[in-house]
Amino acid sequence: MLKKLSILMVFVLVAVSLFGCTLNSKTTLEFTAFPETEYQAGEVSKEEFLNAVKVRLNGKDYSLTQLEVLGANIAGVELSKPGTYTLVVNYEGTSIIFEYDVVGLNQASVNGVEYESIIDAFAAANAETEQVTVKLLKNVDLTGNSLTVAKTANIKFDLNGNVLYCLNEVKGATYLIQNLGKLEIIGNGTISFLAKYPDLDWGTEEDPYPSYASNTINNRGNLIINGNVIIENQTFGGAAYAIDNYDGSSLTIEEGIICQTSGGNCAIRIFGGTTNVTINGGEISANKTAIWIQLPGSKIENTPNINLTINGGKIYSYAQGGNLMYTYTFGDSHSDVVIDINGGEFLGGYVSIGSGTHKLDIPQFTIDGGTFEYDVIQWTDEGYEVLKEANK
């Protein structure tokens, strides 16, 4: 009996030795203290990185340093030079990965030459008369500052997948970017602006309208949006615009998103003078008004030459009672205001053509294409002065 028992025990031990892998549960590996999504080049050592990042192996927590001692293979640790890297942690055939960015000390480059601040980069670009490319090298908080494109400058601004943000705490007219020359914005990324003190002291008999604007882009030159970018204004209330176009300016939108996100004013304003806006693609949206044409003068003999051409894209207002399009005059003539719709998708909101304190005439308005959520006939009533609600 004892001999049989001994033989049985030997058999069990052999079985465990041969088939032990089937008795253990599968290796589990997960991050418990993730790497940062972005590191400054040279700011963190490899040793600090390996000690800071934690993983859980089969229910027990380890730093990457400790896991290496246990025989794990750790690859993709690069913290000394800018780039996008993938951390790979492998233990006995089970792997987990995490992608992170390493950015340099410099914020921007001009034709490959790097500058510590984007303000310095724009200053260098403004000194050139030929087109130069300013590339954003990292996310930049420009709070308390702004950028200007000089009248003689020709800048292609590559956001390079990054965010340019500004909180402005000045009372009065503000902007993140003022374009006086030629500016083309490309690359994935976001330009975002928030004014802390928009003009909210209006709506009374003494001050019926805002006296200053809070703009993401103040456009007085030639502006092209030609990339998968987001131009947004987060300011609530007052005269707050993602792109504000003034006399002598032109705006062409090929793609991207232009939006007023906070329930403030308009995504795009066209403010009198001689102004040309062409929309070939992208999305224009706001809580109040997607596109506003404003004639600021009060004399019927003033005839601002404004051309708005929509060939594509999506135009919409995402709030009840909002506007797709709105023209308003304080007395100037609408006679040289031309609106042509040749394409695009129009969703929601109201459309008002020829509105204002003095409804003396109306813009030239044609529809030759596009898709609509509603019967286009609903846009106009007798006299062609006020367009009706789009969605019914």
Taking residues 133-147, report their average pLDDT.
Answer: 95
Asked which of 86, 103, 120 is the last residue of a domain, the reply is 103
Q: Tell me the residue range of the domain where 62 lies.
A: 25-103
How distant, in Å, are the alpha carbons of 220, 239, 290, 369 from that of 287?
25, 13, 8, 25
Alpha carbons 245 and 111: distance in angstroms, whole number: 28
- Chain segment 89-128, per-residue pLDDT in tens: 999 999 999 999 888 889 999 999 999 999 999 999 999 9
Q: Do 146 and 272 share a domain, yes or no?
A: yes
Q: Do 174 and 284 share a domain, yes or no?
A: yes
Asked which of 87, 103, 119 is the last residue of a domain, the reply is 103
Q: Give the confidence band of 5 by pLDDT, cuts at 50, 70, 90.
A: very low
Q: What's the pLDDT at 205? A: 61
Taking residues 12-31, report their average pLDDT.
Answer: 54
Q: What's the pLDDT at 209? A: 64
Alpha carbons 329 and 298: distance in angstroms, whole number: 8
The residue among 156 and 316 whose pLDDT is bigger is 156
Alpha carbons 206 and 356: distance in angstroms, whole number: 18
Q: What's the pLDDT at 21? A: 37
Q: What's the pLDDT at 51? A: 93
Q: Do 219 and 274 share a domain, yes or no?
A: yes
Q: Is residue 117 part of a domain?
A: yes
Give percent of the chain with pLDDT exceeding 90: 56
Q: What's the pLDDT at 25? A: 56
Tell me the two tokens of residue 100.
Answer: 């992170």
Q: How many CA atoms lie within 13 A of 173 on its CB side?
A: 8
- Chain segment 292-327, per-residue pLDDT in tens: 999 988 888 888 899 999 999 999 888 777 788 888
Q: What's the pLDDT at 125? A: 98
pLDDT at 386 exceeding the cut of 50? no
**Average pLDDT, rounded, for the chain:** 85
How distant, in Å, are the alpha carbons of 140, 230, 294, 338 from that of 334?
42, 31, 10, 9
Q: What's the pLDDT at 198? A: 78
Q: Is residue 392 part of a domain?
A: no
Q: What's the pLDDT at 319? A: 75
- CATH number of the structural domain spanning residue 89: 2.60.40
Q: What's the pLDDT at 6? A: 40
Q: Do 128 and 98 share a domain, yes or no?
A: no
Is-contact 281 312, C-beta < 8 A?
yes
- Among 285, 302, 286, which residue's Cα sits nearest to residue 294? 302
Q: Is residue 389 part of a domain?
A: no
Asked which of 82, 103, 124 is the last residue of a domain, the reply is 103
Q: Do 116 and 241 share a domain, yes or no?
A: yes
Sequence-distant (6+) residues with CB within 8 A of 22 are none
Alpha carbons 252 and 359: distance in angstroms, whole number: 29
- Chain segment 330-354, per-residue pLDDT in tens: 888 888 999 999 999 988 777 777 7
Alpha carbons 164 and 146: distance in angstroms, whole number: 11
Is-contact 242 269, C-beta < 8 A?
no
Taking residues 143-148, report their average pLDDT.
Answer: 95
Taking residues 224-245, report their average pLDDT.
Answer: 92
Q: Do 353 and 282 share a domain, yes or no?
A: yes
Q: Do 324 and 246 share a domain, yes or no?
A: yes
Q: What's the pLDDT at 366? A: 86
Q: Do 246 and 122 share a domain, yes or no?
A: yes
Sequence-distant (6+) residues with CB within 8 A of 119 are 142, 145, 147
Alpha carbons 143 and 373: distance in angstroms, whole number: 40
pLDDT at 61 exceeding the cut of 90? yes
376: alpha, beta or left, given left = phi > 0 and alpha = psi -120 to 50? Answer: alpha
Cβ burial 352-376 (10 Å sphere, 16+ → b, else e): bbbbbeeeebbbebeeeebebebee
Q: What's the pLDDT at 12? A: 36
- Chain segment 249-268, per-residue pLDDT in tens: 999 999 999 999 876 678 99
Q: Do 117 and 145 share a domain, yes or no?
A: yes
Taking residues 52-75, report their average pLDDT.
Answer: 93
Q: What's the pLDDT at 20? A: 38
Q: What's the pLDDT at 358? A: 65
Backbone angles phi, psi at 64, to 5 degrees: -65, -30
- Chain segment 194-230, per-residue pLDDT in tens: 988 877 665 556 655 665 788 999 999 999 999 899 9
Q: What's the pLDDT at 244? A: 96
Q: Do 259 and 319 share a domain, yes or no?
A: yes
Q: What's the pLDDT at 373? A: 76
Alpha carbons 54 and 59: distance in angstroms, whole number: 12
Count CB atoms within 10 A of the CB of residue 128.
15
Q: Do 213 and 355 share a domain, yes or no?
A: yes
Q: What's the pLDDT at 375? A: 60
Give percent of the chain with pLDDT exceeding 70: 84
pLDDT at 278 exceeding the cut of 90? yes
Q: Is residue 17 part of a domain?
A: no
Q: How many domains, the chain?
A: 2
Q: Do 122 and 92 share a domain, yes or no?
A: no
Q: How many CA atoms lie within 13 A of 198 on its CB side?
A: 24
Q: What's the pLDDT at 207? A: 59
